[in-house]
């Protein structure tokens, strides 16, 4: 019995160590998403709910990249929509129209993202603040006009379809795409966490706080600005690839300023320096409408009213919790801990009496 008890104690300690690992919560989150997808396959939960969660995950991937740019590097951008749209057309054209292998399309897309991110990064060396945001907005609008006009690549205003693609010579089903999105989502969350906790993340944060102080510590502005824009563009292009795999259609009007502003709102509302906050912010801006509000009869009859709800949430959060939803959650957590300690103290007094 003593040996068995020691074994249980050892297992319990190992589990406690695993539970404290930074990846643990996100891996569990990924497992929950996989279970939800399996439940949707079995018809236990609506498939439409799962599809709404999948598209929200794709937007969250884009928001994660944007958080590295805004929350850590302190660089403003309104060009996100153009970069995501480019990702959709990369896969739609190369794998769909031309029939390139999927892995080749990914390599082409990543190379395109690196080149585009580097170009915008060089621009940011001379322009800052709202002027940089205007420049990236202009770049996004140029890309949108290209999407409309370059019909050989995008099929113009009619939109580009993408169906029945293969991966390793196997046809990819709708459920397989959802599992791929979940896997990439969790993988990029872990990758983002590693970047944040690494010297690179600390260098980006130092650059955000003060350029001159960062330079005095030996941090090269050119290197880290290029890196920030490149990472944000890669995340956006990956989001575009996954969007096209899931939705199987892309049209230029989707990739407008509205989309860029919604990604910005998701990052600000959730908390620009918190992965959990960004996920919550993305759900608030995008997922709340798709998973909750559309199930209410009033919002089905008046769909534009969902924008009023989203706008009110943004106003309330930024007014009372400028740190984002993550700050609100922390406040609730501390309040609950305080209540628990008070109840525990009262129980101790009731059980054992007052200390002399």
How far apart, in whole angstroms, are the C-alpha atoms of residue 269 and residue 286? 12
How far apart, in whole angstroms, are the C-alpha atoms of residue 85 and residue 236? 9
pLDDT at position 168: 66
Locate the domains of the chain by residue range: 53-291, 324-356
Task: Name the residue with tokens 């940011």.
Answer: 124
Task: Name the residue with tokens 């390139």.
Answer: 100
pLDDT at position 90: 93
Spans of the chain below 50 pLDDT: none
pLDDT at position 1: 55
pLDDT at position 20: 75
What are the structure tokens assigned to 348, written together?
């101790």
What are the structure tokens assigned to 2, written together?
């003593």
CB 282 within 8 A of CB 266: yes
pLDDT at position 352: 66
pLDDT at position 312: 82
Three-class secondary structure of residue 170 per DSSP:
strand
pLDDT at position 330: 82
pLDDT at position 273: 85
How far apart, in whole angstroms, are the C-alpha atoms of residue 204 and residue 219? 9
Alpha helices in 68-198, H assignment, sequence order: 80-91, 102-124, 129-149, 151-154, 174-197
How far apart, in whole angstroms, are the C-alpha atoms of residue 218 and residue 126? 19
């Amino acid at each position: 019995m003593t040996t068995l008890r020691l074994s249980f104690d050892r297992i319990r300690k190992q589990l406690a160590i695993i539970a404290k690992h930074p990846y643990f919560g996100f891996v569990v989150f990924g497992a929950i998403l996989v279970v939800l997808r399996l439940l949707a396959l079995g018809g236990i939960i609506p498939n439409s709910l799962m599809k709404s969660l999948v598209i929200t995950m794709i937007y969250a991937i884009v928001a994660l990249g944007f958080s590295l740019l805004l929350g850590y590097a302190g660089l403003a951008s309104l060009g996100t929509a153009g970069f995501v749209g480019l990702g959709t057309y990369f896969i739609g054209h190369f794998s769909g129209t031309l029939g390139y292998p999927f892995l080749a399309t990914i390599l082409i897309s990543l190379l395109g993202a690196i080149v585009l991110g580097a170009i915008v990064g060089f621009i940011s060396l001379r322009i800052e603040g709202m002027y940089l945001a205007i420049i990236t907005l202009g770049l996004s609008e140029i890309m949108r006009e290209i999407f409309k006009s370059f019909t050989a690549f995008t099929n113009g205003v009619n939109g580009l379809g993408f169906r029945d693609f293969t991966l390793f010579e196997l046809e990819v089903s709708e459920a397989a795409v959802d599992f791929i999105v979940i896997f990439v989502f969790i993988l990029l969350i872990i990758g983002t966490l590693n970047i944040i906790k690494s010297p690179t993340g600390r260098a980006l944060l130092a650059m955000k706080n003060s350029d001159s102080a960062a330079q005095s510590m030996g941090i090269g502005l050119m290197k880290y600005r290029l890196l920030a824009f490149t990472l944000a563009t890669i995340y956006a292009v990956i989001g575009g690839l996954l969007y096209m795999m899931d939705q199987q259609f892309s049209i230029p009007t989707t990739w407008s300023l509205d989309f860029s502003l919604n990604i910005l709102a998701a990052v600000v509302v959730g908390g620009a320096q918190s992965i959990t906050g960004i996920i919550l912010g993305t759900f608030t801006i995008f997922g709340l409408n798709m998973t909750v509000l559309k199930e209410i009869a009033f919002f089905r009859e008046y769909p534009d009213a969902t924008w009023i709800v989203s706008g009110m949430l943004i106003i309330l959060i930024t007014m009372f919790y400028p740190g984002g939803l993550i700050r609100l959650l922390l406040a609730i957590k501390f309040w609950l801990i305080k209540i628990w300690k008070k109840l525990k103290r009262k129980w101790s007094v009731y059980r054992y009496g007052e200390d002399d």
